Amino acid sequence: MNFQNLPNFEDSQHYLDIAFSASSKKVKEQRLKLRRFEPLQRAKREEVIRLDTVKRVLARQITKLLKSFPSIDSLPEFYQELIRLTLDYKQLKKSLAALNWFVQKVEGFHDRYIKLIFKTRDINKPKQLRAEFYGRVSSLIRQVGDDLKYLDNARKTLKGFPDIKDNLFTIAIAGFPNVGKSTLLSKLTTSNPDIDSYAFTTKRLLIGYRTHKYEKLQFVDTPGALNRHKMNFIENMAYLALKYVADVIVYIYDLSEPYPLKDQIKLYKNMKKFSRPVIVYVSKTDILDKKLVEQFKNDSGFKVFDNIDDLNNEILLKKKEY
Protein backbone atom coordinates (compact mmCIF):
# COMPACT_ATOMS: atom_id res chain seq x y z
CA MET A 1 0.00 0.00 0.00
CA ASN A 2 1.21 3.41 -0.83
CA PHE A 3 -0.06 6.37 1.15
CA GLN A 4 2.30 8.87 -0.40
CA ASN A 5 -0.21 10.55 -2.66
CA LEU A 6 -3.03 11.32 -0.26
CA PRO A 7 -4.15 14.89 -0.91
CA ASN A 8 -3.89 17.54 1.80
CA PHE A 9 -6.88 18.43 3.91
CA GLU A 10 -7.02 22.22 3.93
CA ASP A 11 -8.73 24.33 6.56
CA SER A 12 -12.43 25.05 6.25
CA GLN A 13 -11.98 28.62 4.95
CA HIS A 14 -10.09 27.28 1.95
CA TYR A 15 -13.08 25.25 0.75
CA LEU A 16 -15.50 28.11 1.39
CA ASP A 17 -13.31 30.48 -0.62
CA ILE A 18 -13.19 28.08 -3.56
CA ALA A 19 -16.94 27.50 -3.50
CA PHE A 20 -17.94 31.14 -3.13
CA SER A 21 -15.59 32.40 -5.79
CA ALA A 22 -16.69 29.65 -8.18
CA SER A 23 -20.28 30.74 -7.67
CA SER A 24 -19.49 34.42 -8.43
CA LYS A 25 -17.64 33.37 -11.53
CA LYS A 26 -20.51 31.24 -12.72
CA VAL A 27 -22.99 34.09 -12.28
CA LYS A 28 -20.71 36.42 -14.25
CA GLU A 29 -20.53 33.92 -17.07
CA GLN A 30 -24.31 33.67 -17.19
CA ARG A 31 -25.01 37.40 -16.88
CA LEU A 32 -25.90 37.90 -20.55
CA LYS A 33 -28.29 35.00 -20.56
CA LEU A 34 -29.88 36.19 -17.31
CA ARG A 35 -30.67 39.57 -18.86
CA ARG A 36 -33.38 37.99 -20.92
CA PHE A 37 -35.51 37.42 -17.84
CA GLU A 38 -37.75 39.86 -16.10
CA PRO A 39 -36.33 41.15 -12.77
CA LEU A 40 -37.91 38.69 -10.31
CA GLN A 41 -37.05 35.70 -12.50
CA ARG A 42 -33.57 37.04 -13.01
CA ALA A 43 -33.00 37.54 -9.28
CA LYS A 44 -34.17 34.00 -8.62
CA ARG A 45 -32.11 32.40 -11.34
CA GLU A 46 -28.98 34.22 -10.30
CA GLU A 47 -29.22 32.96 -6.74
CA VAL A 48 -30.08 29.44 -7.86
CA ILE A 49 -26.86 29.43 -9.87
CA ARG A 50 -24.94 30.49 -6.76
CA LEU A 51 -26.50 27.86 -4.54
CA ASP A 52 -26.02 25.11 -7.10
CA THR A 53 -22.39 26.03 -7.59
CA VAL A 54 -21.57 26.26 -3.89
CA LYS A 55 -23.21 22.92 -3.23
CA ARG A 56 -21.57 21.22 -6.19
CA VAL A 57 -18.10 22.55 -5.50
CA LEU A 58 -18.20 21.72 -1.79
CA ALA A 59 -19.65 18.27 -2.33
CA ARG A 60 -17.09 17.52 -5.00
CA GLN A 61 -14.11 18.76 -2.98
CA ILE A 62 -15.05 16.98 0.23
CA THR A 63 -16.16 13.78 -1.48
CA LYS A 64 -12.86 13.70 -3.33
CA LEU A 65 -11.02 13.88 0.00
CA LEU A 66 -13.16 11.13 1.46
CA LYS A 67 -12.62 8.89 -1.55
CA SER A 68 -8.88 9.46 -1.50
CA PHE A 69 -8.71 8.31 2.09
CA PRO A 70 -8.20 4.56 2.44
CA SER A 71 -11.21 2.69 3.65
CA ILE A 72 -9.74 1.56 6.93
CA ASP A 73 -11.77 -1.61 7.39
CA SER A 74 -10.70 -3.00 4.04
CA LEU A 75 -6.97 -2.36 4.53
CA PRO A 76 -4.64 -5.32 5.10
CA GLU A 77 -4.36 -6.21 8.79
CA PHE A 78 -0.81 -4.89 8.96
CA TYR A 79 -2.01 -1.38 8.17
CA GLN A 80 -5.12 -1.60 10.33
CA GLU A 81 -2.95 -2.47 13.32
CA LEU A 82 -0.46 0.21 12.43
CA ILE A 83 -3.27 2.73 12.31
CA ARG A 84 -4.52 1.57 15.70
CA LEU A 85 -1.01 1.98 17.01
CA THR A 86 -0.35 5.44 15.67
CA LEU A 87 -3.71 7.14 15.37
CA ASP A 88 -6.85 7.53 17.39
CA TYR A 89 -8.93 5.00 15.47
CA LYS A 90 -12.23 6.23 16.89
CA GLN A 91 -11.42 9.84 16.14
CA LEU A 92 -10.38 8.92 12.63
CA LYS A 93 -13.70 7.23 11.94
CA LYS A 94 -15.58 10.04 13.62
CA SER A 95 -13.85 12.67 11.51
CA LEU A 96 -14.50 10.79 8.28
CA ALA A 97 -18.14 10.41 9.27
CA ALA A 98 -18.30 14.12 10.09
CA LEU A 99 -17.23 15.03 6.56
CA ASN A 100 -19.89 12.74 5.15
CA TRP A 101 -22.41 14.40 7.41
CA PHE A 102 -21.24 17.79 6.16
CA VAL A 103 -21.85 16.90 2.51
CA GLN A 104 -25.33 15.59 3.28
CA LYS A 105 -26.20 18.67 5.32
CA VAL A 106 -25.06 21.02 2.56
CA GLU A 107 -27.19 19.12 0.07
CA GLY A 108 -30.16 19.23 2.41
CA PHE A 109 -29.89 22.98 2.97
CA HIS A 110 -29.38 23.54 -0.72
CA ASP A 111 -32.61 21.75 -1.60
CA ARG A 112 -34.53 23.58 1.09
CA TYR A 113 -33.30 27.05 0.08
CA ILE A 114 -33.82 26.40 -3.63
CA LYS A 115 -37.48 25.67 -2.89
CA LEU A 116 -37.80 28.85 -0.85
CA ILE A 117 -36.27 30.88 -3.67
CA PHE A 118 -38.64 29.37 -6.22
CA LYS A 119 -41.65 30.13 -4.07
CA THR A 120 -41.05 33.76 -3.26
CA ARG A 121 -42.74 36.68 -5.05
CA ASP A 122 -40.58 39.26 -3.29
CA ILE A 123 -37.70 40.48 -5.49
CA ASN A 124 -35.43 41.13 -2.51
CA LYS A 125 -35.95 37.71 -1.02
CA PRO A 126 -33.72 35.54 -3.26
CA LYS A 127 -30.64 37.50 -2.27
CA GLN A 128 -31.56 37.28 1.40
CA LEU A 129 -32.13 33.54 1.14
CA ARG A 130 -28.81 33.07 -0.58
CA ALA A 131 -27.04 35.04 2.19
CA GLU A 132 -28.77 32.83 4.73
CA PHE A 133 -27.67 29.70 2.86
CA TYR A 134 -24.08 30.96 2.74
CA GLY A 135 -24.25 31.56 6.48
CA ARG A 136 -25.51 28.05 7.12
CA VAL A 137 -22.83 26.51 4.95
CA SER A 138 -20.11 28.58 6.63
CA SER A 139 -21.28 27.46 10.02
CA LEU A 140 -21.49 23.82 8.90
CA ILE A 141 -17.96 23.73 7.59
CA ARG A 142 -16.67 25.41 10.72
CA GLN A 143 -18.23 22.56 12.68
CA VAL A 144 -16.01 20.10 10.83
CA GLY A 145 -12.92 22.34 10.99
CA ASP A 146 -11.29 20.18 13.69
CA ASP A 147 -12.06 17.06 11.69
CA LEU A 148 -10.28 18.49 8.66
CA LYS A 149 -7.30 19.27 10.87
CA TYR A 150 -7.34 15.81 12.42
CA LEU A 151 -7.53 14.11 9.04
CA ASP A 152 -4.66 16.16 7.70
CA ASN A 153 -2.52 15.04 10.63
CA ALA A 154 -3.63 11.48 10.05
CA ARG A 155 -2.63 11.84 6.42
CA LYS A 156 0.86 12.93 7.48
CA THR A 157 1.15 9.87 9.74
CA LEU A 158 -0.04 7.57 6.96
CA LYS A 159 2.55 9.10 4.66
CA GLY A 160 5.24 7.76 6.97
CA PHE A 161 3.96 4.19 6.70
CA PRO A 162 6.12 1.76 4.76
CA ASP A 163 4.93 0.73 1.33
CA ILE A 164 4.39 -3.00 1.77
CA LYS A 165 2.68 -5.05 -0.91
CA ASP A 166 0.34 -7.58 0.63
CA ASN A 167 0.10 -9.82 -2.44
CA LEU A 168 3.78 -10.81 -2.72
CA PHE A 169 5.64 -13.69 -1.16
CA THR A 170 7.47 -11.95 1.65
CA ILE A 171 10.65 -12.76 3.50
CA ALA A 172 11.29 -10.93 6.77
CA ILE A 173 14.88 -10.56 7.93
CA ALA A 174 15.09 -10.55 11.71
CA GLY A 175 17.74 -10.54 14.39
CA PHE A 176 19.41 -8.30 16.94
CA PRO A 177 20.73 -4.87 16.01
CA ASN A 178 24.02 -4.79 14.13
CA VAL A 179 23.96 -8.49 13.20
CA GLY A 180 23.86 -7.67 9.48
CA LYS A 181 20.18 -7.56 8.52
CA SER A 182 20.52 -4.63 6.16
CA THR A 183 23.69 -6.09 4.70
CA LEU A 184 21.82 -9.29 3.96
CA LEU A 185 18.94 -7.32 2.45
CA SER A 186 21.37 -5.63 0.08
CA LYS A 187 22.84 -9.00 -0.90
CA LEU A 188 19.47 -10.61 -1.53
CA THR A 189 17.80 -7.74 -3.34
CA THR A 190 18.52 -4.77 -5.56
CA SER A 191 18.13 -2.31 -2.68
CA ASN A 192 20.93 -0.24 -1.28
CA PRO A 193 20.23 0.32 2.43
CA ASP A 194 22.24 2.23 5.01
CA ILE A 195 24.69 -0.08 6.70
CA ASP A 196 26.85 0.92 9.63
CA SER A 197 28.88 -0.55 12.42
CA TYR A 198 26.68 0.74 15.21
CA ALA A 199 23.45 -0.78 16.48
CA PHE A 200 20.09 0.68 15.46
CA THR A 201 21.41 2.02 12.16
CA THR A 202 18.14 1.26 10.45
CA LYS A 203 15.41 3.61 11.57
CA ARG A 204 12.57 2.42 9.41
CA LEU A 205 11.25 -0.73 7.86
CA LEU A 206 13.40 -1.36 4.80
CA ILE A 207 11.87 -3.14 1.87
CA GLY A 208 13.65 -4.66 -1.08
CA TYR A 209 12.59 -6.67 -4.10
CA ARG A 210 13.99 -9.30 -6.35
CA THR A 211 12.41 -11.05 -9.28
CA HIS A 212 12.72 -14.79 -9.59
CA LYS A 213 11.29 -16.44 -12.69
CA TYR A 214 9.02 -13.50 -13.40
CA GLU A 215 7.75 -13.46 -9.83
CA LYS A 216 8.54 -10.67 -7.46
CA LEU A 217 9.78 -11.49 -3.97
CA GLN A 218 9.49 -8.95 -1.21
CA PHE A 219 12.10 -8.69 1.53
CA VAL A 220 11.55 -6.73 4.72
CA ASP A 221 14.38 -5.78 7.05
CA THR A 222 12.82 -5.64 10.52
CA PRO A 223 15.07 -3.44 12.64
CA GLY A 224 15.25 -2.99 16.37
CA ALA A 225 15.42 -5.40 19.25
CA LEU A 226 12.25 -7.38 19.39
CA ASN A 227 12.67 -8.82 22.85
CA ARG A 228 11.88 -5.72 24.82
CA HIS A 229 8.70 -5.39 26.79
CA LYS A 230 8.24 -1.80 25.83
CA MET A 231 8.77 -1.58 22.11
CA ASN A 232 9.27 1.71 20.30
CA PHE A 233 7.46 2.61 17.11
CA ILE A 234 9.90 1.01 14.70
CA GLU A 235 9.99 -2.15 16.81
CA ASN A 236 6.22 -2.29 16.85
CA MET A 237 6.20 -1.91 13.11
CA ALA A 238 8.77 -4.68 12.74
CA TYR A 239 6.68 -6.87 15.01
CA LEU A 240 3.57 -6.27 12.92
CA ALA A 241 5.47 -7.04 9.72
CA LEU A 242 6.53 -10.37 11.21
CA LYS A 243 3.03 -11.07 12.43
CA TYR A 244 1.05 -10.10 9.34
CA VAL A 245 3.29 -9.75 6.32
CA ALA A 246 6.07 -12.34 6.52
CA ASP A 247 5.60 -15.70 4.82
CA VAL A 248 9.09 -16.81 5.84
CA ILE A 249 11.48 -15.42 8.43
CA VAL A 250 15.24 -15.37 7.97
CA TYR A 251 16.77 -15.14 11.43
CA ILE A 252 20.35 -13.94 11.59
CA TYR A 253 22.83 -15.15 14.18
CA ASP A 254 25.94 -13.08 14.61
CA LEU A 255 28.59 -15.24 16.26
CA SER A 256 30.86 -12.25 16.78
CA GLU A 257 28.24 -11.55 19.44
CA PRO A 258 27.42 -7.86 19.44
CA TYR A 259 24.72 -9.35 21.66
CA PRO A 260 25.35 -12.48 23.77
CA LEU A 261 24.57 -15.73 22.02
CA LYS A 262 22.16 -16.79 24.72
CA ASP A 263 20.05 -13.67 24.04
CA GLN A 264 20.16 -14.36 20.33
CA ILE A 265 18.92 -17.88 20.99
CA LYS A 266 16.14 -16.53 23.17
CA LEU A 267 15.01 -14.14 20.44
CA TYR A 268 15.21 -16.95 17.90
CA LYS A 269 12.90 -19.07 20.04
CA ASN A 270 10.59 -16.09 20.26
CA MET A 271 10.15 -16.22 16.49
CA LYS A 272 8.07 -19.38 16.99
CA LYS A 273 5.09 -17.33 18.04
CA PHE A 274 4.70 -16.03 14.48
CA SER A 275 4.07 -19.59 13.22
CA ARG A 276 6.13 -19.09 10.07
CA PRO A 277 9.02 -21.17 8.79
CA VAL A 278 12.24 -19.73 10.20
CA ILE A 279 15.47 -20.06 8.24
CA VAL A 280 18.67 -19.53 10.21
CA TYR A 281 21.57 -17.66 8.68
CA VAL A 282 24.94 -16.87 10.29
CA SER A 283 26.45 -13.59 9.20
CA LYS A 284 30.04 -12.38 9.12
CA THR A 285 31.50 -15.83 8.53
CA ASP A 286 34.23 -14.15 6.45
CA ILE A 287 35.72 -12.68 9.62
CA LEU A 288 34.81 -15.46 12.02
CA ASP A 289 36.89 -18.44 13.05
CA LYS A 290 35.75 -21.32 10.81
CA LYS A 291 35.77 -23.69 13.79
CA LEU A 292 33.36 -21.46 15.69
CA VAL A 293 30.91 -21.53 12.78
CA GLU A 294 31.20 -25.30 12.38
CA GLN A 295 30.71 -25.82 16.08
CA PHE A 296 27.59 -23.67 16.05
CA LYS A 297 26.22 -25.55 13.05
CA ASN A 298 26.78 -28.85 14.81
CA ASP A 299 25.59 -27.86 18.28
CA SER A 300 22.62 -25.69 17.45
CA GLY A 301 20.29 -28.53 16.58
CA PHE A 302 18.81 -26.74 13.57
CA LYS A 303 19.76 -26.21 9.97
CA VAL A 304 22.11 -23.25 9.60
CA PHE A 305 22.99 -21.44 6.40
CA ASP A 306 26.24 -19.57 6.04
CA ASN A 307 26.31 -18.63 2.40
CA ILE A 308 24.00 -16.58 0.26
CA ASP A 309 23.41 -19.07 -2.54
CA ASP A 310 22.27 -21.82 -0.19
CA LEU A 311 20.14 -19.35 1.72
CA ASN A 312 18.54 -18.22 -1.53
CA ASN A 313 17.74 -21.77 -2.54
CA GLU A 314 16.18 -22.44 0.84
CA ILE A 315 14.00 -19.34 0.51
CA LEU A 316 12.84 -20.49 -2.94
CA LEU A 317 12.14 -23.93 -1.55
CA LYS A 318 9.99 -22.45 1.19
CA LYS A 319 8.20 -20.41 -1.43
CA LYS A 320 7.49 -23.58 -3.39
CA GLU A 321 6.13 -25.28 -0.29
CA TYR A 322 4.03 -22.27 0.56
Ligand X SMILES: Nc1nc2c(ncn2[C@@H]2O[C@H](COP(=O)(O)OP(=O)(O)OP(=O)(O)O)[C@@H](O)[C@H]2O)c(=O)[nH]1
Chain residues 160-179 in contact with ligand X, contact rule CB under 6 A = 177-179
Angle value at C-alpha 185, between 183 and 191, nearest 5 degrees? 105
Contact 107, 59 (CB under 8 A): yes
Instruction: Identify what 178 binds: ligand X, Mg ion, none; CB under 5 to 8 Å per kind.
Output: ligand X
Question: If binding is defined by CB under 5 A, does position 182 make contact with Mg ion?
Answer: yes
Cα gap 103→141, rounded to integer Å = 9
Instruction: Identify what 110 binds: ligand X, Mg ion, none; CB under 5 to 8 Å per kind.
Output: none
Residue (188 or 315) nearer to ligand X, CB:
188
Single-letter amino acid, residue 274: F
Give the range of 24-32, 159-167, 193-201, 235-243 binding ligand X by CB under 6 A: 193-201
Question: If binding is defined by CB under 6 A, does position 56 make contact with ligand X?
Answer: no
Cα gap 56→50, rounded to integer Å = 10
The stretches of the chain forming alpha helices (DSSP H) are 12-34, 39-68, 77-86, 89-119, 125-143, 145-159, 181-188, 233-240, 261-270, 290-299, 308-321
Single-letter amino acid, residue 115: K
Contact 179, 226 (CB under 8 A): no
Query: Shortest Cβ distance from residue 192 to ligand X (Å)?
Result: 12
Contact 244, 79 (CB under 8 A): no
Query: Shortest Cβ distance from residue 241 to Mg ion (Å)?
Result: 14
Question: If binding is defined by CB under 6 A, does position 180 make contact with ligand X?
Answer: yes
Residue 174 has phi, psi (to 5 degrees) of: -125, 165
Question: If binding is defined by CB under 6 A, does position 195 make contact with ligand X?
Answer: yes
The residues, ordered by sequence, that sit 6+ positions from 52 with a Cβ below 8 Å of its Cβ are: 110, 114
Cα gap 291→289, rounded to integer Å = 5
Selected from 126, 162, 208, 223, the binder of ligand X by CB under 6 A is: 223
Question: If binding is defined by CB under 5 A, does position 222 make contact with Mg ion?
Answer: no
Instruction: Identify what 222 binds: ligand X, Mg ion, none; CB under 5 to 8 Å per kind.
Output: none
Give the range of 76-84, 127-135, 198-206, 273-281 binding ligand X by CB under 6 A: 198-206
Chain residues 272-311 in contact with ligand X, contact rule CB under 6 A = 283-284, 286-287
Cα gap 171→281, rounded to integer Å = 13
Instruction: Identify what 130 binds: ligand X, Mg ion, none; CB under 5 to 8 Å per kind.
Output: none
Question: If binding is defined by CB under 6 A, does position 201 make contact with ligand X?
Answer: yes
Output the residue with the shortest Cβ distance to ligand X: 180
**Contacts for 183-186 with beta carbons within 8 Å, 24 or more apart?**
183/283, 184/221, 184/250, 184/252, 184/281, 184/283, 185/219, 185/221
Nearest to 283 by CA among 221, 236, 228: 221
Query: Shortest Cβ distance from residue 78 to Mg ion (Å)?
Result: 20
Question: If binding is defined by CB under 6 A, does position 220 make contact with ligand X?
Answer: no
Question: If binding is defined by CB under 5 A, does position 202 make contact with Mg ion?
Answer: yes
Selected from 12, 182, 189, 222, the binder of ligand X by CB under 6 A is: 182
Query: Shortest Cβ distance from residue 219 to ligand X (Å)?
Result: 12
Residue (66 or 288) nearer to ligand X, CB:
288
Selected from 89, 200, 302, 322, the binder of ligand X by CB under 6 A is: 200
**Site of interaction with Mg ion (CB under 5 A):** 181-182, 201-202
**Site of interaction with ligand X (CB under 6 A):** 177-183, 195-197, 199-202, 223, 283-284, 286-287
